[in-house]
Structure 1
């Protein structure tokens, strides 16, 4: 996507499309996980996404040379393997709207914490406030969840939070690679290498059954993979990279306030997910924490299905 003078309206429209897509990916992911085991679903998603990236990269003549292969492998294991195995499993066991809130609201906070350990971020008073609000928001989200079914949902949300931390860690160690590798080349390697490592994780956790391949032809699986690969990986992520160049990280990162609201609304309206006072309060506090983190003027990473 190329920048055009006077095209601010086009950039705003693209931003809204991106935020809408990332808000709409959560429910199809959960529906697909009803017929395909979630980690295996993540494996198929990233194999397909890697092939799509390759189809874009080769005609453009973008170099696929690996810079700092050890760092690329580590980032791939964190961003794709660790993050999305936990994320897909967590979404399969918890409400999609709350999963989106936990993932998108915690991302800038975790990037700050991990970035500080690597000397990339500073812990300021504003950021300490963001971290405190983030913890309070999580406690509110979990406060109304008791009983066997609720405990299962709480475990799913905990897995989403752990997956978010894994992604943030990988994003931090990926930053130096952005100076020497094309973003699409880096996305290809992190997607493909991470998918390769998802195979043994799926076998270890979910076992193997030949029916899984035929289950991919189920309408729910096809819908989920189409939305995740074409919408999330190729469509929305391409827009995000463009907006990073046009607007910078702060304005592009404002999707973190729009996408969770979309995900919650879709989950309540379509799937009948519960969204009561504890969830509303927890979501409000988590989004306030996100606002504190984003308005500190530093870069944060993207995460989304």
Structure 2
């Protein structure tokens, strides 16, 4: 993450009696929230929130890990090609340790995190999956604590709220409304995504975040493809049997979910206040639940509504505490 550069220190003025000389130095200008910022934020809100819906449609006729692997490999190669075209092939050159770190983070995020979500969405509604994943900031706080950091009382209160909401969200699985195995799979995915996010800030990653993302997507995608082959997802797979609806969702995930939304997010980190950018963490699940209900007719039961509200409240508390710190 980047922070705005401070204005240069004012040069001491020579003694003078004019009003201008007696004026206090100007404060550093704050980042402006322009129309472009709101447009990019809307992309992150809607597109990332809609990826759960897209995944649910993809797995209607595509195998989970093979479809996820294909998505990330294609997106990673496209991003690498765009980087090489815009900045030259040198932008892709990284040290071996940086490449290994990007591969590890990619496997945690995209094979463990996203891949398991794709698998789970074969039996779990997209809105419920999004709410279960929304607890990621709470797991990150737990990991930070394990490694000796002290995020603060507000963050720990947010974790407790998030875990309470998570308990309520598991009720549809315990009551038989959805498969409990799918619910637990999403919980494991959220832990692995948190581990990948936590590791990314502590490992020697490529300096260019777009380069790092390209390698992460290729590594995670190859991992998903390998798991899909080991699971035998290719047996009996006929591309002619894949519906146009699933192909459309797959293309949407590659282009919008993995390329456009990520680019918008990376640009926001350099342009907009971090406190504003961080709001995606609790807006995305709300968007996902709304789209799942409107487009797929997913039921918003009381455990989903109540548990989701508690989880989002916990994430809001964690984000606001981090912003103050």
Taking the aligned partners of 1:42 and 1:180, their CA distance within structure 2 comes to 24
Is this contact kept in 2: 1:67–1:181, CA < 8 A? no
TM superposition shift of 1:101: 1.4
Q: Select the structure of larger CA radius of gyration.
A: 2
Instruction: Report the count of equivalent residues.
Output: 291
| Alpha-carbon distance change, 147 to 140 in structure 1, aligned in 2, over 3 angstroms | closer
Alignment gaps of 5+ in structure 2: 5-30
For 1:224, which of 249, 256, 267 is the aligned residue? 249
TM-score of the pair, normalised by structure 2: 0.82
Whose helix proportion is higher, 1 or 2? Answer: 1
| Alpha-carbon distance change, 203 to 180 in structure 1, aligned in 2, over 3 angstroms | closer
The answer to whether residue 45 in structure 2 is matched with residue 19 in structure 1 is yes
Is this contact kept in 2: 1:137–1:285, CA < 8 A? yes
What is residue 303 of structure 1 aligned with on the other side?
none
TM superposition shift of 1:45: 0.6
The answer to whether residue 132 in structure 2 is matched with residue 106 in structure 1 is no
Taking the aligned partners of 2:193 and 2:303, their CA distance within structure 1 comes to 27
What is residue 302 of structure 1 aligned with on the other side?
none
The answer to whether residue 68 in structure 2 is matched with residue 42 in structure 1 is yes
TM superposition shift of 1:125: 1.4
What is residue 22 of structure 2 aligned with on the other side?
none
Is this contact kept in 2: 1:90–1:159, CA < 8 A? yes
Taking the aligned partners of 1:194 and 1:211, their CA distance within structure 2 comes to 22
Taking the aligned partners of 1:37 and 1:51, their CA distance within structure 2 comes to 21
TM superposition shift of 1:28: 2.0
| Alpha-carbon distance change, 229 to 66 in structure 1, aligned in 2, over 3 angstroms | farther
What is residue 150 of structure 2 aligned with on the other side?
122
Taking the aligned partners of 2:112 and 2:58, their CA distance within structure 1 comes to 20
Equivalent position SS for 2:92:
coil
Is this contact kept in 1: 2:168–2:304, CA < 8 A? yes
What is residue 262 of structure 2 aligned with on the other side?
237
> Runs of at least 4 residues of structure 1 off by over 6 A?
none
Is this contact kept in 2: 1:107–1:168, CA < 8 A? yes
Taking the aligned partners of 1:177 and 1:58, their CA distance within structure 2 comes to 24
Alignment gaps of 5+ in structure 1: 300-305
Listed one character per residue, the Cα deviations across residues 59-85 of structure 1 (whole Å, up to 9, x for unaligned) are 122233145244333212211221122
TM superposition shift of 1:238: 0.6
TM superposition shift of 1:200: 2.2
Is this contact kept in 2: 1:67–1:180, CA < 8 A? no
| Alpha-carbon distance change, 13 to 208 in structure 1, aligned in 2, over 3 angstroms | closer
